[in-house]
Amino acid sequence: MDYAIQHMPNDGIVLEIGSYAGLSTNVMLHLLHKYHKKHTFVGCDAWIYEGFNDHTGIIEKHIDGKPDVSRTDYVAYLKNAFINAATLLHPNTKPYTCHLASDAFFEKWNANDVFIDVFDRTFSIQQKISFCYIDGDHSYEQTKKDFENVDSKLKVNGFILLDDSAKHLQFGSSDFIKEIKKNEKYEIIDNNPNYLIKKVKE
């Protein structure tokens, strides 16, 4: 994140797919301030709890290992934690984060729709992406779709950081890196352990 924010194009937005409780959001907002970057920060999260056994078709109403905590209450807690953390730590530069799945987010963007963020502000996106942190659904299929959506709006010399893409991990996001390595439009900047890639041509 530090390298990408220092070296990303001077114009464009910073995009986060998957905000959870706001840790990565606030780190990036801190780095934007540290390096005197004026980029608008935009994000989206569906705030859906994915259980350990969901892929088997066994979907319980509570979180794993805690039958007295419902999924609904847990994700509401996470969303509120995100709002509270951003408001406390960056009251003057709060992110424009929407309660939307990434597919729905890009559909609205492609249609030039107006967004409403979790702070009840309306906004639209007029610029392309300078840096994107993809930390949403880690399945291979959704990772590929998120990458393709971001690629369509990423500036040349812009960056993508792909969460849980380290070689030793058993995620679809890790498998997808094999395709990135064959993509002539991108070069790998680092993997420590997650991969940071740079778009070098359209």
- CA dist., res. 69 & res. 184, Å (int): 47
Q: According to the model, what pLDDT value does residue 127 have?
A: 97
**Residue 192: domain span:** 2-199
Number of domains the chain is built from = 1
Q: According to the model, what pLDDT value does residue 154 have?
A: 98
From residue 97, how far is each of 66, 81, 101, 118, 187 by CA, in Å? Answer: 29, 13, 11, 6, 28
Q: According to the model, what pLDDT value does residue 53 have?
A: 78
From residue 155, how far is each of 86, 130, 176 by CA, in Å? Answer: 27, 6, 21
Q: According to the model, what pLDDT value does residue 174 have?
A: 82
Q: What is the CATH number of the domain that holds 24?
A: 3.40.50.150
Q: According to the model, what pLDDT value does residue 132 have?
A: 98
User: Average pLDDT for consecutive 10-residue bins of the chain (202 residues)?
Assistant: 97 96 97 97 94 81 93 96 98 98 97 98 97 89 94 98 85 86 94 94 92
Q: According to the model, what pLDDT value does residue 43 have?
A: 98
Count of Cβ atoms closer than 10 Å to residue 27 Cβ: 15
